[in-house]
Structure 1
Amino acid sequence: MDHGEFDFAEGAISGNVLNPLEFMNTLSTNKALNQGFCLNWGKRTDRLHEAGSTDRYAATYQGQDYSYDALWNASQGFTPVDDGIATPVGNNAQITYDSAKKALNFKAEFSPQVVDEKGNCLYEFS
């Protein structure tokens, strides 16, 4: 084992296939991502900076700032990102079962700003 000072070091004991990116969720301060096992005692990872602070702790990619959580979520699948922060697809989501039709119904409130630069809707439902 290496000894010394590190900006970042990671280790894991697991019976699963080695998947370092999957284990990176433990660095998130968001319990929805880290499932309550957090190895980060620093700044919040779901924001670009603290309100009223001049400290920046966002990751910059191609000139755009992103929160750690937005980048990690994007590595796992489709992730809507608004101004560098991962945003929910819909708020107040409700799933109900219609036994007569034998179908699930999904209802949620969606932001009107869910369009790309050409005005096309980013979500498709069927």
Structure 2
Amino acid sequence: MTAAPGATTTWTTVCPLARIDVEGGVTALVGGRAVAVFRTHDDAVYALDNVDPFSRASVLARGIVGTRGDVPFVASPMLKQPFDLRTGVCLDDPEVRVASYAVRVVDGVVEVAAPEPGPGG
């Protein structure tokens, strides 16, 4: 995700990286949205919307984190659809996706960029 020229990114502090289990996830409220933050086996950190678009349940942070080839993904705990942690695209149905968010780790603390407001917001 890139910011528009002149735009300021608002970062929300989530937690220390050490509080997220390897191949696990946590949920945080970021800009009024439930966001799932994941840590992979190689300590990469990603953030997606927490709502599974297939079941409409807010559960992705409790999914199984793994890789398919070189693609890091989370499998929904409801119906097991895998979502690319980098883009939010469903690996089994590319027409379906969840929003992904910029993430950074500063001094061992995970921060997620707040979603940009939609039109009129």
TM-score, length basis structure 2: 0.26
Structure of higher CA gyration radius: 1
Choose between structure 1 and 2: higher helix proportion. Answer: 1
TM-score, length basis structure 1: 0.25
**Which structure would you say has the larger RCO, counting Cα contacts within 8 Å and 6 or more residues apart?**
2
